[in-house]
Amino acid sequence: MAAIDDLLRLDEGLISGRVLTDSGMYRLEQERIFGRSWLFVAHESEIPKPGDFVTRSMGEDPVIVSRAQDGSLHVMLNVCRHRGRKVCAEDAGNVRNFRCGYHGWTYSEAGQLTGVPFFDVHQGRLDRTSLGLCQARVDSYQGLIFATWDETATSLRDYLGELTWVLDILFGRTANMEIVGPPMRWVVDANWKLGATNFTGDAYHLPTTHGYGSALGLDVTRGRRAGYTISTANAHAANVNRWPEGNMGRPYLSLPEQLIAEFEQRLSADQLEVMRTMVSFAGNLFPNCSYLNIATVGFLNTEWRTGEQPASAEDSKATSFLTLRQWQPRGVDKTEIWSWQLMDRDVPDWWRESSIACYTRSFGLAGMHEQDDLANWMAISEGCRGPMGRKLWLNYQMRLGEREAPSDWKGPGEADYLYPMSVSDRNERAFYRRWADLLRD
């Protein structure tokens, strides 16, 4: 296994291709990154009632996320304490208990061991109270449920830190944010960090990888979006794009006007101002949970019209969509992608339908942008796998040693101007700095 410091020359903006292909490093990531970070596991609206559960994973460890009869949240290793069989095979459901399919050990919905067939034959050696499913620490923020195996980890609120300012806008702007249907899932032949770092800070790929909208003349912003790239503690990141001057689309991410009063109640004046003027928010919660909220800028709308300005929001079908996407490691060059759509519950039907269609056609399983991105990430994992590719140093030098702190950015974090004034690799370098710090100790 390579030494961590042989893989990074961050002061020069260089990263070895081996970070994506070294299987020893991959195993270390499982223990030191996925074993210790707060990891997103579910949204509270997926398990609203006592007994509700979903099965997820924390890195390669399968877990059950459940709501107990008293309403408390539990995240438990989905592995039987008898002989290690995965206990629950379903994706989701509502139960009073989980029964292991091998010998029948039974656990409550909160994970206590409640039933052992032929209990007396164990000669009193079985202590049922200490043989419940392994429990992770759990907490939630704005409906997002996170868990960590690290007893000594800082609180979730401290872990998310200043990025909560952005999370409030996306996930806390209304009281009734909820998941739309079950998450889509697919597996790709690419290292998990490629998706995570792309959402962390790669605005550079937009004109090339997703250039079809502009090429077809369908991008109403004509690529002239401007904004900020923001890095906060623990390598969380946000990239925030504004409507260009003179081309202000529908404010507040094209959300229905009847929701604005609620935004005003729940957000600060600065948060409101940022939300009002932005086309998109994209970023990553370290290590592997990314988010995207984007107004559908014409070419993704369910109806695209040229010429006359539609008379009403409904007539224009102007919407936006909000998605969470998780890059679940399944091997050094395999990733299971999970993608959720979230929706403010009280939007009108036309808005909901249009938003779902836009999300599905762009970032769903067969979405155009999703396909664009996957082609890159699979080609990188393939390109860096061979003996020559593994020797390459990958370039992350944009804005190395430079930053122009934007005087008009109203949010937190270390901000820099973003495309077209500046594209930057700052957030990706921060991602790998944090990655290396965790792997080292």
- Nearest partner of 162 among 229, 232, 231, judged by Cα: 232
Q: Looking at beta carbons only, is 79 or 166 nearer to ligand FES?
A: 79
Residue 2 main-chain phi, psi, to 5 deg: -70, 150
98: enclosing H helix or E strand: strand 97-99
- Rg of the chain over all Cα atoms, to the nearest angstrom: 23
Q: 102 contacts which partner out of ligand FES, Fe ion, none, CB within 5 to 8 A by kind?
A: ligand FES
Cis peptide before 256 (omega within 30 of 0): no
Select from Fe ion, ligand FES, none the partner in contact with residue 390, using the beta carbon and a kind-dependent cut-off of 5 to 8 Å. none
Instruction: Provide the minimum distance between the beta carbon of 108 and ligand FES in the complex, in angstroms, as a whole number.
Output: 15
Q: Which residue has the tokens 């957000």?
A: 267
Q: How many residues are present in the chain?
A: 441
Q: How far is the CB of 81 from ligand FES (least distance, A)?
A: 8
Residue 373 interacts with, from ligand FES, Fe ion, none (CB under 5-8 Å by kind): Fe ion
Question: What is the number of the residue whose Cβ is closest to Fe ion?
Answer: 373
Angle at 81 between CA 79 and CA 85, to 5 degrees: 45
8 Å CB contact between 75 and 59: no
> Which of the residues 59 through 118 are near ligand FES (CB under 6 A)?
80, 82-83, 85, 100, 102-105
Binding piece for Fe ion, criterion CB under 5 A, among 54-62, 213-221, 365-373, 384-392: 365-373
Sheet holding 92-94, edge to edge: 73-77, 61-67, 52-58, 92-94
Number of residues that bind ligand FES (CB under 6 A): 9
Q: 82 or 224: whose CB is closer to ligand FES?
A: 82
Question: Per-residue x/- marks for Fe ion, 320-359, CB under 5 A?
Answer: ----------------------------------------
337 binds, among ligand FES, Fe ion, none (CB under 5 to 8 A by kind): none
Rule CB under 6 A: say whether 32 interacts with ligand FES: no
CB of 244 to ligand FES, least distance (A): 59
- Cα separation, 254 vs 318, in Å, equals 6
Q: Which residues in 34-93 contact Fe ion (CB under 5 A)?
A: none
Closest approach, Cβ 85 to Fe ion, in A, equals 39
Q: How many CB atoms lie within 10 A of CB 266?
A: 15
Q: Which is nearer to ligand FES, 12 or 90 (CB)?
A: 90
Nearer to Fe ion, 234 or 280 (CB): 280
Contact 229, 414 (CB under 8 A): no
Shortest CB 103 distance to ligand FES, Å? 3
Tokens of 363: 């970032």
| Chosen from ligand FES, Fe ion, none, partner binding at 286 (C-beta under 5 to 8 Å by type) | none
CA–CA dist 385, 380 (Å, integer): 8
- The answer to whether 187 touches 70, Cβ cutoff 8 Å, is no
* Residue 182 in tokens: 């079950």
In the bound state with ligand FES, the residue whose beta carbon lies nearer, of 36 and 128, is: 128
Q: How far, in whole angstroms, is CA 195 from its chain's centroid?
A: 10
Helix residue spans in 172-305 (DSSP H): 192-201, 206-209, 212-215, 260-266, 269-277
Residue 35 or 132 with smaller CB distance to ligand FES: 132
Which residue, 10, 20, 425, is CA-closest to 239? 425
Q: What are the distances in angstroms from CA 400 to CA 96, 239, 262, 287, 427?
A: 55, 18, 41, 22, 11
Candidates 373, 416, 425, 428; binder of Fe ion (CB under 5 A) is: 373
Spatial separation of the C-alpha atoms in residues 50 and 68, rounded to whole Å: 5
Looking at the Cβ atoms of 186 and 350, the one nearer to Fe ion is 186
User: Which partner, Fe ion, ligand FES, none, binds residue 157 by CB below 5 to 8 Å per kind?
Assistant: none
Cα distance between residue 387 and residue 91, in whole Å: 40
Give 88 or 374: the residue with its C-beta nearer to ligand FES: 88
What type of residue sits at position 184? Answer: M
- CB-nearer residue toward ligand FES: 104 or 223: 104
Q: How far is the CB of 369 from Fe ion (least distance, A)?
A: 6
Task: Give the count of residues interacting with Fe ion (CB under 5 A).
Answer: 1
Residue 99's binding partner, choosing from ligand FES, Fe ion, none, with beta-carbon cut-off 5 to 8 A by kind?
none
**Residue 131 or 394 with smaller CB distance to ligand FES:** 131
29 interacts with, out of ligand FES, Fe ion, none, CB within 5 to 8 A per kind: none
Shortest Å, Cβ 122 to ligand FES? 12
Number of neighbours of residue 399 by Cβ within 10 angstroms: 20
Contacts with Fe ion by CB under 5 A lie at 373
Contacts with ligand FES by CB under 6 A lie at 80, 82-83, 85, 100, 102-105
